[in-house]
Amino acid sequence: MRAVAAGGRLIDTVRAIEHSSRYNPTFEQVEGGAMSGNGDSKFFDELTVLDEFAGVTDFNSYRPLPLDWVLAVADVVDSTKAITKGRYKAVNTAGASVITALLNGLGSYKHPFVFGGDGAMMALPGSRQEEAVANLSALVVWVGEALNLEMRAAIVPMADVRNAGYDVQVLRYRASVNAVYSMFVGGGSSWAEDQMKRGRYSVPAAKSGSRPDLTGLSCRWDPIPASHGEILSLIIAPGGDGLGPRFKSLLTDILQIVSQQARDGHPLPPNGPPLTLTTKGIDTEARATASEGRLLARKLGIFAETMLAVGIDFLGLPIGSFDPKGYKVEVAENSDFRKFDDGLKMTVDLSAVQSNQIEDLLVKAAASGVCRFGIHRQLEALMTCFVPSLDARDHIHFVDGAGGGYALAASMMKADFPQATPPDELP
């Protein structure tokens, strides 16, 4: 990072609240954290973009991925065990690093993706498969050596997904004026992850010491406490009815309960999360961004950047083109606290009464075959970020529960519905 000085050089350091170095400036950052370049981006550009989240349950709005595309899938092995040991921040960092490594490595194309807490999935053209394999192979090594976690990764062809009777269909949801996230339906994403876990598809680990490009990956934010009672991490997948009217009605009822809370239960304060002088997350981020032999220097640099950021935030005054208050508002607006990935997934700030109402609905719906679900309650939310450019406003922020979140909700769903039936075909 450049030394702190007056004028523009100070602004660069201020923007290091989230990251430590400039992304490749020849790329143009576009909606949803995917990059545009000279490649054919027709499919991504023609996807439906929703302005109202409730529209994600209109399954006729999704568009099938091209047959020659592939799914890049990765997750942390035994993430539940790691979380019970208090390593939820490392698990979330590993999950976010999948998206970071792939976007940095592929760079010049638009790619739909989704963050799952302990892993992620990205769809990309088959022509980029070799590059994706190289990036995932290096990532598997880095997660093992730097985070002391085991990661598995795979590339699954869309042709295999469809041959198995599933599909992957996509649309985009505009979370804010600056950030758009991809939504997925069709069962193919879940099937691909399951096949990876069964060992049918895998990416070999690269040689020891290999490192992916994790520029922009940041985990400096402290956990964000609940404002309304508790942070509810929720996964609702179709049951035997598939994506039929009863499942859609259930989702409508759930979203209605959530809408009773301010800002639809958004777990981040409207003015953004507080900046505090903390050492939490420094080690993880330093391991992601330090050059060889420079780990200690990187840790000291991150701490110095955090001190500067806290001071500027306390003063609340714009410095050059950087407005710290406006930036924190963007952090909240650009976060992915709700999504659809073969089911509704949310991490929301609700009262205990609202959480109980939702759980009661889900128990009844599951008993009649409408859905499968997993819930995990905790007192804080957790945020891991990818900020690919010092100047862009479409930095993206992945939200999960700080006490286990999606990983523990998924573990509950797996335990309660071990013989789940796949969803019916899309309309």
State pLDDT tens for residues 297-342: 666 666 566 655 656 665 666 666 656 677 788 889 999 999 999 9
Claim: this prediction has a pTM higher than 0.85: no
Q: What is the dihedral of CA 353, 359, 360, 363, to 10 degrees?
A: -170
Question: What is the arrangement of strands in the sheet containing 230-238, beginning at the earlier edge strand?
Answer: 338-340, 344-350, 230-238, 371-378
Higher pLDDT, 427 or 42: 42
User: Using H for helix, E for strand and C for coil, what is the string for 104-127?
Assistant: HHHCCCCCCEEECCCEEEEEEEHH
Residue 374 has pLDDT above 60, yes or no: yes
Q: What are phi and psi of 194, to 5 degrees?
A: -65, -40
Express as a percent the part of the chain with pLDDT over 70. Answer: 74
Higher pLDDT, 194 or 218: 194
Structure confidence at residue 327 (pLDDT): 76
Task: Return the structure tokens found at 363.
Answer: 């128990």
Q: What are phi and psi of 287, to 5 degrees?
A: -65, -25
pLDDT confidence tier of residue 421, bands split at 50, 70 and 90: very low
Task: Return the structure tokens found at 337.
Answer: 């606290």
Structure confidence at residue 5 (pLDDT): 32
C-alpha distances in angstroms, 53 versus 27, 174, 365?
A: 29, 8, 22
Residue 226 has pLDDT above 70, yes or no: yes
Who contacts 137 (Cβ-Cβ below 8 Å, separation ≥6)?
153, 203, 204, 205, 206, 210
Residue 427 has pLDDT above 70, yes or no: no
Q: How far apart are CA 291 and CA 289, in angstroms?
A: 7
Structure confidence at residue 328 (pLDDT): 80
CA 105 to chain centre: 17
How high does pLDDT run on average in the chain? 83
Q: What is the mean pLDDT of residues 211-238?
A: 91
Who contacts 424 (Cβ-Cβ below 8 Å, separation ≥6)?
238, 241, 242, 243, 244
Structure confidence at residue 109 (pLDDT): 54
Higher pLDDT, 288 or 37: 288
Residue 357 has pLDDT above 90, yes or no: yes
Structure confidence at residue 24 (pLDDT): 36
Q: Are strands 28-29 and 35-36 parallel, antiparallel or unpaired?
A: antiparallel
State pLDDT tens for residues 252-304: 999 999 999 999 999 999 988 766 545 565 666 666 666 666 666 666 666 56
Give the range among 11-20, 111-120, 331-340, 383-392 with minimum mean pLDDT: 11-20
Give the range among 264-278, 371-385, 404-418 with minimum mean pLDDT: 264-278
Q: What is the mean pLDDT of residues 37-52?
A: 76
Q: How far apart are CA 240 and CA 18, in angstroms?
A: 43
SS3 content of the chain, % helix, strand, coil (to 5): 40, 20, 35
Among 76, 200, 191, 184, smallest CA distance to 139 is for: 76
C-alpha distances in angstroms, 398 versus 120, 179, 347?
A: 11, 12, 10
For residue 407, count other CB atoms closer than 10 A to its CB: 27
Among 264, 255, 71, smallest CA distance to 170 is for: 71
Q: How far apart are CA 368 and CA 345, in angstroms?
A: 21
Q: How far apart are CA 244 and CA 255, in angstroms?
A: 17
Q: Is the Cβ–Cβ distance between 54 and 159 less than 8 Å?
A: no
Higher pLDDT, 425 or 156: 156
Structure confidence at residue 216 (pLDDT): 83
Q: Is the dihedral of CA 380, 178, 20, 41 positive or negative?
A: positive
**Three-state SS for 50?**
strand
State pLDDT tens for residues 66-122: 999 999 999 999 999 999 998 988 999 999 999 999 999 998 557 899 999 999 999
Q: Are strands 69-76 and 151-157 parallel, antiparallel or unpaired?
A: antiparallel
Residue 311's identity, in one-letter code, is: G
